[in-house]
Structure 1
């Protein structure tokens, strides 16, 4: 993924310079963000781990997402990705995380959450969790690729902010 490589390289430099360890908590991207990160040699110096939590049960068990959030808001929602991002940091040695949950398609969409709806959150320990909803166009591959790209951009943005 040549378009992703520069983002990962920028993320690596920032994480190394700031001595920050990063974790991912992925659902619809199935570990793709972690795969792109670990494709870069030396990423073990700054990448802690990746949680691939596709089922709600895995999100609850591995990341501590409260089960009631799935009932009240659904897996593709701001409260769930915020809990996932916090859970990734709480359950690792990372201080920065990204979480992703979405409807990649081709099925599974609803009028409220059509195919292409992807929620992401970024959590930097000591700061507020930041979440954002995206509406990506294209087929399943395109939606997932767009999510990977935006997840990496968001991590870079978090590292470019002033340290707590």
Structure 2
């Protein structure tokens, strides 16, 4: 499922209320969803959280975690997605942090490197997943690719959680 309209309809059919915590994509996930008429019913909030201070203030991401793993890390993306789902009225969340470019990031991370995380609430359990991906292209192509990939994988992880499989959670 890769068309935004199909993803929005999936969210609506499954009564998914989404929160996002977006660093690299700066709100593009929510913006892309909002293009679809009626999709607002599937959106709780979209947070653009670039700075460590914003990640700490709005998502409770510990500075020690950022210092230990770096801003572009699965550990930080995981903490961001947990803050997004726990601090909002959502049953699913997507978070990302990365290097959109044009320059390389700390520790030589290549532009296009994006760490993503997803959370799906089922009952009183939150299932979390993380991935690091590389997206080709210029800055905005990286952001666009990461936003669409984040939405596509949310559908995948939602299906994993509710299909009866025992998914590996973060």
Fold conserved between structures, TM > 0.5: yes
Q: How much has 1:51 moved relative to structure 2?
A: 0.7
Which residue of structure 2 lines up, in the alignment, with residue 96 of structure 1? Answer: 92
The reply to whether residue 86 of structure 1 matches residue 85 of structure 2 is no
Q: How much has 1:52 moved relative to structure 2?
A: 0.5
Q: How much has 1:78 moved relative to structure 2?
A: 0.8
Q: Matches of 2:148 and 2:76 in 1, distance apart?
A: 20
Residue 128 of structure 1 aligns to a residue whose secondary structure is strand
Distance 1:75 1:110, change over 3 A: closer
- Give CA deviations for 1:107-153 in whole Å, capped at 9, x if unaligned: 14245421111000000122431000011222112211111121111
Q: Matches of 2:127 and 2:41 in 1, distance apart?
A: 25
Structure 1 runs of 4+ aligned residues shifted over 6 Å read none
Q: How much has 1:162 moved relative to structure 2?
A: 4.5
Distance 1:37 1:47, change over 3 A: same
Please list every run of 5 or more consecutive structure 1 residues that lacks an aligned counterpart in the other structure.
none
Q: Matches of 2:50 and 2:143 in 1, distance apart?
A: 14
RMSD: 1.8
Tell me the number of residue pairs that the alignment of Structure 1 and Structure 2 aligns: 160
Q: Matches of 1:83 and 1:95 in 2, distance apart?
A: 16
Please list every run of 5 or more consecutive structure 2 residues that lacks an aligned counterpart in the other structure.
165-170
